[in-house]
Amino acid sequence: MPRQFRTGDQALVRQLNRSILLQRLWVASPLSRADLAASIGLNKTTVSHLVDELVTDGFLREIGRNTSASGRPGVLLELDPEAGWTIGCEIGVGSLSVILANLRARVTWRGRAAFARDEGFDAVLDRLTHLLRQAKRHAQRAGRRLFGAGVAVPGLVDISSGTLVFEPNTGWRDKPLRSILAQRMQIPVFVDNDGNAAALAERYFGVARGVDDFAYVVANVGLGAGLVVGGHIHYGVSGYAGEAGHTTIDPHGPPCRCGNHGCWERFASQRALIERVTGPDGRASSAILDGLTEHGSLPVSLSLVLQAAEAGDATVLEALRETGVYLGIGIANLVNLLNPSLVAFGGSLSQAHEYLLPAAREVVEHRAMAELRGASSIVVSAFRENACVMGGVALVLHDLLSRPRLVPAGRPTAPPYLDVHEVDAPLKVIP
């Protein structure tokens, strides 16, 4: 279907000008009205009107005067981090995580729930709705308006409709997440792939602030990537770019739940690591780890694997090294393909970054082209295992900065649901 473009009426122009102004303050506050006018190229009268509107509606706050400038000191402005709160959600494989945070990602409430992997979609969504309603009630009790909820989910996502197209680990197909949650919660809802969402979180709040070209590798039970090119998430022609976990490492490798064989995530994910330290019966394959699992009465988990590594378990340490090697092979491919300035590593498996990244960096040093690897830093995410749920917060913020919705400061919740693609392309954050 061809994209629907909105014509350039005065409301759109004003909306875009507000977006540019807020984006500038996001990265460079505090600024005076005169500084804003000079830096974004709008006349002072237009900027003054926009600022007055945004101050009245609680988006901006005045924080004193600029006494260092010559002439009459200008009133300094910044985006008010408490202008409203956002909900971040992660639907993982077997787990749900929900946080409530302000516009600078300060978390004020957190809720979690587990679910069995064979539970149906409806049951899982009911559990998620329960957590979302708790978060909404917390915001209402605090008297905070709510800008919306962002949902990060593994698999293929149609962001234009907020539909989960396919999630290999659960087998879910064509699930209209956004429409269901927006109807239940009566707030704006944004849904994206977990790698894309985590990449946005890193760009707004973490190690990739100000970085226009980077790759975000998110390793949980599965593995994926968010690709940022020229300051924008790269979605590809069908909207599903970033499925790096399903690139082939070994054509004769183990079967993947996507239907292929030898995918990268079968070698470099949390699931792959657990398989390396367990036998055919699922029990720990080393004495130390077996003891930590109470000789099979507890499942082998990532936390127990890390405890065994700290205790010097040779089998576990070798499994971590091998997982790091395969992580490095995939990262080397990303470096050769994309030439990013940064590769960030997050997700639950990044809790083991001290064991994984040395091996990964060594592989990249040998397998990536010298002219490309020299430009790329490989770092751990600022949010690690919380990267995807923080990505949900970033999805709401991204829309807010791209198209600020003026909600009276006294109202605790956002206005009725708005289509994220009313304006065709989100603006990039101004460096």
Q: What CA–CA distance (Å, rounded) separates 268 from 422? A: 38
The residues, any chain, with a CB within 8 Å of residue 429's CB and separated by 6 or more, are: 23, 26, 27, 203, 204, 231, 401
Query: pTM of the predicted model, to two decimals?
Result: 0.88
Looking at residue 280, what is its pLDDT?
Answer: 84
The model's pLDDT over 73-124, given as tens digits with 9 standing for 90+, comes to 678 999 899 999 999 999 998 899 999 999 999 999 999 999 987 889 999 9
Complete DSSP assignment for 9-30: -HHHHHHHHHHHHHHHHHHH-S
The pLDDT, as a whole number, for residue 8 is 53
pLDDT score at 64 = 75
**pLDDT tens string 193-204:** 999 999 999 999
Q: What is the pLDDT of residue 236?
A: 92
Coil, strand, or helix at residue 48? helix
Q: Could you list the beta-strand ranges (E) of 310-415.
A: 342-346, 377-380
Which has the closest alpha carbon to 330: 231, 189, 195, 170?
Answer: 195
Residue 29: the pLDDT is: 81
Mean pLDDT by 10 residues, the chain (431 residues): 53 82 88 88 87 88 70 79 95 94 95 89 95 95 94 94 92 95 95 96 94 95 94 92 94 92 96 93 91 92 96 96 98 96 96 97 96 94 95 94 59 34 34 32
